């Protein structure tokens, strides 16, 4: 019963109530009908044929009743009881059907609310508020829901502001550190091997932190980017392949693509999303592997599938990889210069465009990540 939808619960409870009521009435009417039919012998009046124009009255107490009269009364009792049960079944069925449709109409505001909740995304919290023009029973519910959306919006806004402010504050000292390292290396070209290795490590870490702050700034400013460009994906994919060709050739990775499509969004953000997915597939691929991007259309959505021939992602991490700063293999990520924000930015960009991203499949022979965007 707990697994049934609310509409079916109301329907079944109403049908059971109607059925119980009809059965009770049926039993009472059957008892009453049989009682009065059994006592009909003392009050029965019959009409006979007469030429006098007046009816003859029949008194069963004075005259003996024949077998035919008894059979007629007994048949009437059985017909009365059977008819009552048929009426009970028909009324129960009709009541259940009416209860189903009437409860569906009564629950329509709740279904509308559920559909609206399903459309809530971090980028449309202010547009998902419920108006006050609802049934009295839903007013308190709608006010609580709107207040929750306000709190969520304030939380997300504060988070973005903090991220942006922190990234801005880090840019200046990181730039100074990079400048000082470059100046020291230029002024002291001949240093001990240990010092040279240490300086190289400092430059790599400073560059990694610079890239991280850059990505954080991009994530904090996503909501301000207009998404009104008409984008052809096939030329964009070819441009990304050209930009990433040096990294792919270094690792012997073959880049391939099939399909095309046009969407409306931010040209800059869509480029960054596809760039991050492709770069990730190249960096975490096997030597002499492949990266294949497939673009298809399905149910008014474009599916962008980026498949590689890497070692795969463990099943318990397939949702966590889209969280900020999460890395499956931290040592390998550090070796490749990753900071754990690339796929998180992909998720943010897909959500901003009303889409989603997920790991479609992953095994020891490779991983396929699919982005689903509305056309």
What's the pLDDT at 274? 92
For the stretch 43-100, pLDDT in tens is 444 444 444 455 444 555 555 555 444 545 556 667 767 777 777 777 777 877 777 7
What's the pLDDT at 290? 93
Rounded to whole angstroms, what are the CA distances from 237 to 271, 297, 353, 361? Answer: 8, 16, 18, 22
| pTM for the full predicted model | 0.55
Domains in the chain: ranges and CATH: 6-106 (no CATH), 149-220 (1.10.287.130), 225-374 (3.30.565.10)
Q: Identify the CA nearest to 222 among candidates 263, 262, 270, 175.
A: 270
User: In the structure, what pLDDT confidence band is assigned to residue 193 with cuts at 50, 70 and 90?
Assistant: confident
What's the pLDDT at 332? 54
């Amino acid at each position: 019963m707990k697994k049934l939808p609310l509409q079916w619960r109301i329907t079944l409870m109403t049908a059971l109530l109607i059925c119980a009521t009809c059965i009770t009435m049926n039993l009472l009417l059957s008892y009453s009908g049989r009682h009065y039919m059994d006592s009909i012998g003392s009050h029965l009046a019959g009409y006979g044929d007469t030429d006098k124009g007046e009816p003859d009255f029949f008194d069963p107490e004075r005259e003996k009743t024949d077998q035919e009269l008894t059979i007629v009364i007994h048949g009437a009792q059985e017909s009365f009881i059977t008819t009552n049960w048929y009426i009970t079944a028909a009324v129960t069925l009709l009541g259940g059907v009416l209860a189903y449709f009437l409860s569906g109409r009564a629950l329509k505001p709740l279904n509308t609310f559920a559909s609206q909740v399903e459309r809530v995304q971090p980028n449309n919290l202010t547009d998902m508020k419920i108006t006050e023009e609802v049934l009295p029973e839903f007013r308190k519910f709608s006010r609580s829901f709107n207040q929750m959306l306000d709190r969520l919006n304030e939380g997300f806004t504060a988070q973005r502001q903090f991220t942006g402010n922190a990234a801005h504050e880090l840019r200046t000292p990181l730039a100074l550190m990079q400048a000082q390292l470059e100046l020291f290396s230029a002024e002291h070209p001949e240093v001990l091997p240990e010092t040279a290795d240490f300086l190289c490590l400092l430059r790599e870490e400073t560059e990694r932190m610079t890239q991280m702050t850059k990505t954080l700034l991009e994530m904090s400013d996503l909501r301000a980017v207009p998404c009104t460009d008409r984008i052809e994906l096939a030329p964009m994919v070819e441009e990304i392949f050209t930009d990433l060709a040096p990294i792919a050739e270094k690792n012997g990775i073959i880049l391939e693509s099939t399909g095309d499509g046009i969407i409306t969004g931010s040209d800059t953000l869509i480029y960054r999303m596809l760039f991050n997915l492709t770069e990730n597939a190249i960096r975490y691929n096997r030597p002499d592997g492949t990266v294949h991007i497939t673009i298809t259309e399905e149910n008014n959505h474009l599916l962008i599938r980026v498949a590689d021939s890497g070692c795969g992602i463990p099943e318990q991490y397939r949702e966590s990889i889209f969280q900020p700063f999460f890395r499956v293999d931290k040592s390998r990520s550090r070796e490749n210069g990753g900071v754990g924000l690339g796929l998180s930015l992909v998720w943010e960009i897909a959500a901003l465009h009303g889409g989603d991203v997920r790991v479609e499949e992953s095994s020891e022979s490779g991983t396929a990540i699919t982005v689903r965007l509305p056309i």
